[in-house]
C-alpha cells in the first residue's frame, strides 16, 4: 500500500490595510512559499488606492500563494485614530474570512494576523488553528505595547501628566513625548483599541517580529530571559526580519531611476514621509521646499497632499492639480527653479522607494521613520534624517539616533502645537548628513548594520532570522 504524500502546511494570513502593514505581510507570505515550501492564503484588504493596485499588479506570485480580496466595506472615516480604523476594517471582514476558510478544500491550520487584527483569533479558534501574530514593527515597540495592559492598571491619570519616562521592563525608559497623540487621552479610540489588542497578544502561540536580533541585542536577551516575560505577558518572540520588498526589475523608463542615473554616488537626498497616515502641514511643506533648496544638495522628494489642506496662497494651490499633483502644493517658482537647475526632482504621491534607496546615487534619506522605511534604509545602508510624524515613528527615531547612531533627528519645538521647522534648520540638517564628517560617520555605521541585516536572513549562512522562521515551519509541518 503506497503511503500518502504529506500535505504542505497551509497558513492563512490576515494583514490590515495600509501599505506599511500590507507590504511586509505580502513579503513574508512570498518568503514562506518560495523559501520554506509552505502554502499561504493571504486576505487582501479592499482598497482602491493606485499604490496598492500597482503593487499587486507588479507581484510575481509564486505557486502556493493565493490572494483573496476582501469585499469593500461601507466604512466611512469613523475615527481619525489609525488603530480604530484598522481594527474595525478587520472586524467587519471576519464573516467573509470565516466562510472562505470553511469552504476551503485544504483548510489552513496556522493563522498569522496583524497586531490590529487580533479579533481574527476568534476565527482561528473556531477552526482549531495555531495562532501567531506578525508584528510589523520592532521588538522594543512590541514590548512597550505588551506592557501596556499592566501599566494601564498601575497608573491613575493621563500619560501626559507623568513627570518621568515610562520604565518598560527590558528597555530604556520611554519618554511620553515619544508616544503617539492618542496616549494623551486614555479615553481615545486609538488608545482603547491598542489596549484591546495588547490584551489579546498572549493568545498567540508566538509572535513573529520584523526585526533582527543583532539590531536589538539587549531587547532579545531580555526577551529570552524568563524574568522579563514574567512581567510582560507575551508568548515567545521570534525575530524573522528584515522582511522588505525585493527590488522589482523596473523598466528603465522609470522617471525617478533615470533621473538618479545622472548623478554621482551618495549625492542625492531622498525625501519621503511614507505610504499614508499623516503628512506635513502646507506651511511646513513650503519651509521644507525652501530648506532643501538652500542646502544646495540634490534631492528627490515624494510629495503627498498636506495634512491640513490649508490654502496658504493662490500661488501654492493649483486647482487644476489632482490630489497628488505637487504643483498643487508647492510654490510654482520653487518647482520651476529646481527643474531649471536640475538639482531636484519632485514626484507626486508614490515612488518605487526600495529601488530608489538601493540606487548608488542616494546618500541620505529624510524619512518619517515608519518601520518599513527604517528597515529599507538599513538594508541599503542609507543614513537618515529622522522626521517622525505619528504612530510609533518617534520611538523608531529614538532607536536610530540614540541607540544606533545612524540618524540625526529634527527638533520641532512643539510637535503637537503645530510648530513649524524653519528652512534654515532644515538646510543645516541636510548639509550635516549629505556633506562633511558627521554624514560620513553616520553612513559608515549604517553600512555595518546593513551587513548584519543581510546575514540575518541568509539561508546559506544560517542567519538568525532565517533559522527562527525555519524552526517554526518545522513545527507547523509536524
Ligand atoms: N512606499 C513606497 N513608495 C512611496 C511611499 C512608501 O514604496 O512613495 C513603501 C515603503 O517603501 C514602505 C511602505 O511603503 O515599504 C511604507 O511603510 P512604512 O512603515 O515606512 O510607513 P507607513 O506608510 O506605514 O507610515
**Measured torsion, CA atoms of residues 165, 276, 201, 7, in degrees rounded to the nearest 10:** -150
pLDDT tens profile 229-280: 788 989 999 999 999 998 877 666 789 999 999 999 999 999 999 877 678 9
Whether residue 113 is predicted with pLDDT greater than 60 in this model: the reply is yes
User: Is 23's C-beta closer than 6 angstroms to any atom of ligand 1?
Assistant: yes
Q: Which residue has the higher pLDDT, 288 or 184?
A: 288
310 and 357 co-located in one domain: yes
> Does 230 lie in the same domain as 109?
yes
Residue 327 counted as domain residue: yes
Segment 328-336 long-range contacts (CB within 8 Å, at least 24 positions apart) = 329/282, 329/285, 329/303, 329/305, 330/285, 330/286, 330/289, 330/303, 331/286, 331/289, 334/289, 334/290, 334/293
Distance between Cα 207 and ligand 1 center (Å): 22
Residue nearest to atom 16 of ligand 1 (CA): 20
* Whether residues 62 and 182 fall in one domain: yes
Phi, psi of 88 (to 5 degrees): -65, -40
Q: Give the per-residue pLDDT at 1.
A: 44
pLDDT of residue 5: 57
> Which runs of consecutive H residues, i.e. helices, occur in 67-212?
82-102, 121-126, 139-154, 189-200
Q: Using the mean position of ligand 1's atoms as its centre, give its distance from the Cα of residue 155 in Å.
A: 35
Measured in degrees and rounded to the nearest 5, phi and psi for residue 467 equal -65, -40
Nearest CA among 135, 108, 134 for reference residue 123? 108
Atom nearest to 244 CA in ligand 1 = 15
Output the residue whose Cα is nearest ligand 1's atom 13.
20
Which ligand 1 atom is at minimum distance from the Cα of 371? 19
Please report how many Cα atoms fall inside a 13 Å half-sphere around the Cα of residue 61, on the Cβ side: 14
User: Same domain for 38 and 160?
Assistant: yes
**Whole-prediction pTM value?**
0.93
Same domain, 25 and 42: yes
- What pLDDT score was predicted for residue 238? 97
Is residue 19 in contact with ligand 1, taking CB distance under 6 Å? Answer: yes
Shortest-distance atom of ligand 1 to CA 276: 23
| pLDDT for position 49 | 64
In this structure, are 386 and 314 located in the same domain? yes
Residue whose CA lies nearest to ligand 1 atom number 7: 353
The C-alpha cell that represents 376 in the structure block: 529599507
Q: What spacing in Å lies between the alpha carbon of 453 and ligand 1's midpoint?
A: 19
Return the best residue to mutate from 114, 115, 373 for the ligand 1 pocket (most ligand atoms within 8 A of CB).
373
Identify the CATH number of the domain in which residue 370 sits: 3.40.50.2000
| Number of domains within the chain | 2
- Whether 272 lines ligand 1, by a CB cut-off of 6 Å, is yes
pLDDT at residue number 472: 95
Range of the domain at 190: 10-243+457-477
Which of 15, 303, 371, 372 for a ligand 1 pocket mutation test, highest count of atoms within 8 Å of Cβ? 372
More confident site: 439 or 3: 439
Give the pLDDT of residue 319: 34
Question: Pocket of ligand 1, candidates 17, 20, 210, 354: which has the most ligand atoms within 8 Å of its Cβ, to mutate?
Answer: 20
Checking DSSP bridges between strand 384-386 and strand 298-303, what pairing results, if any?
Answer: unpaired
pLDDT the model gives residue 153: 93
* 334 & 422 share domain: yes
Q: How confident is the model over 159-195, as pLDDT tens digits?
A: 989 999 999 988 899 999 999 888 889 999 999 999 9
> For 339-348, how does the pLDDT look when each residue is reduced to its tens digit (9 = 90+)?
888 899 999 8
Q: Reply yes or no on whether the pLDDT at 292 is more than 50.
A: yes
Please indicate, yes or no, if residue 125 is contained in any of the structural domains. yes
Q: Evaluate whether residue 50 is within a structural domain.
A: yes
Distance 53 CA to ligand 1 centre (A): 14
- Which pLDDT belongs to residue 195? 96
Taking the alpha carbons of 15, 462, 171, 175 in that order, is the dihedral positive or negative? negative
Please tell me the chain's helix, strand, coil percentages from 3-state DSSP, rounded to the nearest 5: 45, 15, 40
Q: Report the DSSP beta bridge partners of residue 206.
A: 132
pLDDT of residue 323: 59
pLDDT of residue 391: 85
H or E stretch including 213? Answer: none
Distance from the alpha carbon of residue 21 to the mean position of ligand 1, in angstroms: 9
Averaged pLDDT, 313-335 = 62
**Residues 182 and 309 grouped into a single domain:** no
Sort residue 17 into left (φ over 0), alpha (ψ -120 to 50) or beta: beta
* Percentage of the chain modeled with pLDDT above 90: 67
More confident residue, 478 or 352: 352
Which residue in 273, 301, 236, 295 sits closest to 435, CA to CA? 295
12: phi then psi, degrees, rounded to nearest 5 = -100, 135
Using the 8-state DSSP alphabet, how is residue 372 labeled?
H
Residues 235 and 262 in one domain: no
Q: How far is CA 419 from CA 272, 313, 386, in A?
A: 20, 19, 17
Asked if residue 248 is part of any domain, the answer here is no
Do 168 and 272 share a domain, yes or no?
A: no
Among the ranges given (109-123, 411-425, 450-464), the one the predictor scored with the smallest mean pLDDT: 411-425
Mean pLDDT score, 17-41:
93
Atom of ligand 1 nearest to the CA of 357: 11
pLDDT given at position 52 = 72
Domain assignment present for residue 88? The answer is yes
Pocket test of ligand 1: the residue of 28, 136, 274 to mutate, having most ligand atoms within 8 Å of its CB, is 274
What is the rounded distance in angstroms from the CA atom of residue 91 to the CA atom of residue 349? 29
What is the CA(340)–ligand 1 centre distance, in A? 29
- How far does residue 19's CA lie from ligand 1's centre (Å)? 6
Q: Which three cell numbers stand for residue 455?
A: 546575514
CA angle 233, 238, 242 (to 5 degrees): 130
Could you tell me which residue, 80 or 428, shows the higher pLDDT? Answer: 428
Mean pLDDT of 99-112: 95
CA–CA gap between residue 164 and residue 174 (Å, rounded)? 9
Q: With pLDDT > 70 as the criterion, what percentage of the chain qualifies?
A: 90
Ligand 1 near 276 CB (within 6 A)? yes
Q: What is the pLDDT of residue 57?
A: 73
Residue 241, pLDDT score: 94
261: in domain: yes
250 lies in a domain?
no
302 Cβ inside 6 Å of ligand 1: yes
Mean pLDDT rounded to a whole number for the chain: 89
Which of the four pLDDT bands, split at 50, 70 and 90, describes residue 316? very low
Residues with Cβ within 8 Å of 436's Cβ and at least 6 positions away in sequence, in order, are none
Amino acid at each position: 500500500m503506497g503511503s500518502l504524500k504529506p500535505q504542505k502546511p497551509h497558513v492563512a494570513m490576515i494583514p490590515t490595510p495600509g501599505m506599511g502593514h500590507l507590504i511586509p505581510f505580502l513579503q513574508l507570505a512570498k518568503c514562506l512559499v518560495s523559501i520554506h515550501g509552505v502554502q499561504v492564503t493571504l486576505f487582501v484588504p479592499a482598497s482602491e488606492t493606485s499604490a496598492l493596485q500597482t503593487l499587486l499588479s507588479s507581484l510575481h506570485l509564486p505557486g502556493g500563494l493565493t490572494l483573496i480580496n476582501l469585499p469593500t466595506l461601507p466604512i466611512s472615516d469613523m475615527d481619525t485614530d489609525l488603530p480604530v480604523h484598522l481594527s474595525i476594517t478587520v472586524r467587519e471582514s471576519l464573516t467573509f474570512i470565516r466562510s472562505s476558510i470553511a469552504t476551503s478544500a485544504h483548510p489552513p491550520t496556522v493563522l498569522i494576523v496583524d497586531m490590529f487584527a487580533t479579533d481574527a483569533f476568534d476565527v482561528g479558534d473556531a477552526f482549531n488553528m495555531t495562532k501567531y501574530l506578525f508584528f510589523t514593527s520592532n521588538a522594543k515597540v512590541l514590548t512597550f505595547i505588551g506592557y501596556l495592559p499592566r501599566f494601564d492598571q498601575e497608573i491613575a491619570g493621563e500619560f501626559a501628566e507623568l513627570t518621568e519616562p515610562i520604565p518598560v521592563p527590558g528597555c530604556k525608559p520611554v519618554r511620553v513625548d515619544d508616544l503617539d497623540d492618542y496616549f494623551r487621552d486614555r479615553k481615545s479610540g486609538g488608545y482603547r483599541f491598542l489596549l484591546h489588542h495588547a490584551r489579546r497578544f498572549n493568545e498567540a502561540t508566538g509572535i513573529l517580529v520584523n526585526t533582527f536580533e543583532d539590531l536589538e541585542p539587549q531587547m532579545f536577551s531580555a526577551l529570552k530571559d524568563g524574568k522579563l516575560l514574567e512581567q510582560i505577558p507575551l508568548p515567545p518572540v521570534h525575530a524573522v526580519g528584515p522582511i522588505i520588498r525585493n527590488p522589482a526589475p523596473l523598466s528603465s523608463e522609470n522617471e525617478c531611476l533615470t533621473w538618479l542615473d545622472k548623478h554621482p554616488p551618495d549625492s542625492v537626498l531622498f525625501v519621503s514621509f511614507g505610504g499614508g497616515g499623516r503628512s506635513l502641514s502646507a506651511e511646513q511643506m513650503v519651509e521644507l521646499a525652501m530648506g532643501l533648496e538652500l542646502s544646495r544638495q540634490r534631492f528627490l522628494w515624494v510629495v503627498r497632499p498636506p495634512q491640513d489642506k490649508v490654502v496658504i496662497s493662490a500661488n501654492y494651490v493649483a486647482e487644476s492639480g489632482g490630489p497628488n499633483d505637487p504643483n498643487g502644493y508647492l510654490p510654482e517658482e520653487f518647482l520651476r527653479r529646481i527643474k531649471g537647475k536640475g538639482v531636484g526632482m519632485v514626484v507626486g504621491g508614490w515612488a518605487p522607494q526600495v529601488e530608489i534607496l538601493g540606487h548608488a546615487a542616494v546618500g541620505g534619506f529624510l524619512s518619517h521613520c515608519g518601520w518599513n522605511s527604517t528597515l529599507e534604509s538599513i538594508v541599503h545602508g542609507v543614513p537618515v534624517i529622522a522626521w517622525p510624524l505619528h504612530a510609533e515613528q518617534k520611538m523608531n527615531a529614538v532607536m536610530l539616533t540614540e541607540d544606533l547612531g545612524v540618524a540625526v533627528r529634527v527638533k520641532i519645538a512643539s510637535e503637537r502645537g503645530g510648530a513649524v521647522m524653519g528652512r534654515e534648520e532644515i538646510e543645516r540638517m541636510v548639509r550635516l548628513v549629505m556633506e562633511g564628517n558627521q554624514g560620513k560617520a553616520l553612513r559608515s555605521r549604517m553600512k555595518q548594520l546593513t551587513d548584519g541585516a543581510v546575514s540575518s536572513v541568509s539561508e546559506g549562512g544560517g542567519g538568525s532570522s532565517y533559522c527562527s522562521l525555519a524552526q517554526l515551519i518545522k513545527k507547523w509541518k509536524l
